[in-house]
Structure 1
């Protein structure tokens, strides 16, 4: 990557990224992007580019690589040997740095099923770092995954802490921790519809997860505000027979209810190619959201790890490109990073690169209600961008106009 500095305005730095294949919302165009401070100032077509017109600007030659909107990962537990359930400020900072190396510019830190006290530890740590300028991905708010789940669909969630929605608990947490932006729960539980309605009233995203619901349960949940499915297919019901009658499950509801967004762990392990192709065929690119669901082993080469905090988490194996419970009875989160998700989707064939990028940029920005400032290379939006080559090897990551990662630097 060739970087040439001219007289830089130190008050409002200007940078021109040129000679790039710029990934726009519905096309890829040769051109350049001018960044001023934290924002995208101009998007320029190659034929209209005249470098001589720019004064006081740093020029960065992208060398024909792709210039993409920054990747937004709305379901992350950890990475680099850290987990958000460690409940420390260091964990938040280090996870943000690790994922930025793989093109992630914004993340939604995610908890696990645990006690109220441990949730508070993590939420308190988040409150201390949420506004810091970290040399990594930006935080978009906290995602509480549990503890209101179906025990039969717990997956790797610790059964000791699974419980029904408790109004005293969730009202207390929401009233005292402004950083909560989404919450995943099983909609068939007693009190779950009241819980979902309360989340919607507070502007918090309600997501269906770890559930044995039938289609009718999901329809009822959708009416009170549930509009996202957490790690689609994983820990959720499909067609079942009850008293000899067949019932459609959560998976079928995800397909049939048009405005449900589906979160996909596209690491090639959680969802095999046929299922990814089926989801794309039925839902199309507009409702698919790629997530890593990464645990602490992401970005490392370890063969054993811990899901959750070291003192109260579950020991797991890391093999076959995924984390598993020790008895290999269930997956225990992924070890993927965002660039791997994109490579997996591209291997399916016949999916344009710009559509795959949409699944990890604009779509999650829309789901998280930040599409007015993130998720696309457009004038006025945050200068969150990634430069990567034909094999989706990340060369540079830019967050709010700052280069937070550069290959070989």
Structure 2
């Protein structure tokens, strides 16, 4: 199908373009051109004067729409999550499983493989295993009973049941072994330092050894202090390591996001870390206003959407909208090495887009060229 998307302001990731149009064909972006230059015979779809950005990408999310992947890692859970995220403007996501029983962590990968195999055009990019090789001292809401040392046999199981779908593993650098790091990196898995009490030296060594990212900056990690810069200091100081941040004003102050962005620039990207209420299983969460807590009252996850995180970065952090959008699109795509097909509006890229208004309400998405209006938009 070949058509033009018109009547919008396009945030391409490189420029902000009013009075332009996108020519889409066969699920890809064919051209970005002035609206006046559109061939007269090309069918048009009216974008209703909305803002159009690359599809939002969430690399750490546990659930939504009443289901929690941590408790029920099934294709049905993933289907429900994807439908909810799509309505919120997120086109791509990495389903996340926290430190858990071995069979559930393996089951998360099996569920992702089954879902991807059966679902055409899905935005599920794979699985993020947040643990189980983490620091007990910085476990946060993770269950201590499931924390364990790196196990090559377990890692080999992960890699074998879902080839290519284990995208990220959060691990504490001070508990990582060279063999575990080598095995995961050889399989193309992104290692992210997190839930870690690492010293600055240990964190530096981990980043030098193959850790490419840091998980939810500030949360559940050694802080930057005058005598021990910790994992936060190592993330700031490293020339290429990327870091996710939860921009909800609760997991970290908006001023901390602003300072981090000044120091890290394009290396800082947004995640939601969103969970859902669950009365069963190892991870039992309840909503407490604008956050989720566990049975001990520990902050356990956010109630953010990616579009809300973008809005917060504009309204409370003070970033330009174009940059806040890159933190939710291009920069996470770079983490997974997908920035040649996702994260920009440019010729050759996948036609996966988010349509939203000036109040940051999602109105629809384009997924592989197919425009779908959200129910909230009156469809």
Instruction: Choose the corresponding residue for 1:53, options 21, 26, 40.
Output: 40
Partner of 1:312: 281
Instruction: Choose the corresponding residue for 1:358, options 326, 344, 347.
Output: 326
Partner of 2:304: 336
- What TM-score does the superposition give when structure 2 sets the normalisation length? 0.94
Contact 2:58 2:270 in 1 (8 A): yes
Q: Residues of 2 paired with 1:61 and 1:403: CA distance? A: 10
- What TM-score does the superposition give when structure 1 sets the normalisation length? 0.87
Partner of 1:302: none
Partner of 1:215: 200
Contact 2:267 2:331 in 1 (8 A): yes
Deviation digits for residues 104-149 of structure 1, max 9, x if unmatched? 01101111111211122222211111134468x6011111111011
Higher CA-based Rg: 1
SS of 1:236 mapped into structure 2:
coil
Contact 1:289 1:359 in 2 (8 A): yes
Per-residue deviation, 1:404: 4.0
Partner of 1:20: 8
SS of 2:97 mapped into structure 1:
coil
Does 2:122 align with 1:128? no
Residues 79 and 349 (structure 1 numbering): CA distance in 2 closer, same or farther, change over 3 Å? closer
Partner of 2:246: 265
Q: Residues of 2 paired with 1:267 and 1:114: CA distance? A: 26
Q: Residues of 2 paired with 1:97 and 1:134: CA distance? A: 14
Partner of 1:254: 235
Instruction: Choose the corresponding residue for 2:76, options 90, 100, 113.
Output: 90
SS of 2:371 mapped into structure 1:
strand
Per-residue deviation, 1:272: 1.3
Per-residue deviation, 1:152: 1.0
Per-residue deviation, 1:170: 1.4
Per-residue deviation, 1:403: 2.8
SS of 1:327 mapped into structure 2:
coil
Contact 2:112 2:162 in 1 (8 A): no
Q: Residues of 1 paired with 2:372 and 2:295: CA distance? A: 36
Alignment of 1:6-405 (within 5 A): 13-30=1-18, 31-46=20-35, 48-50=36-38, 53-55=40-42, 57=43, 59-85=44-70, 86-133=72-119, 138-178=123-163, 179-189=165-175, 191-239=176-224, 246-284=227-265, 286-296=266-276, 305-306=277-278, 311-328=280-297, 330-348=298-316, 350-405=318-373
Q: Residues of 2 paired with 1:405 and 1:129: CA distance? A: 24
* Runs (5+) with no aligned partner, structure 1: 1-12, 297-304
Per-residue deviation, 1:220: 1.1
Number of residues paired by the alignment?
A: 374
Contact 1:100 1:404 in 2 (8 A): no
Contact 1:15 1:34 in 2 (8 A): yes
* Runs (5+) with no aligned partner, structure 2: none
Per-residue deviation, 1:171: 2.3
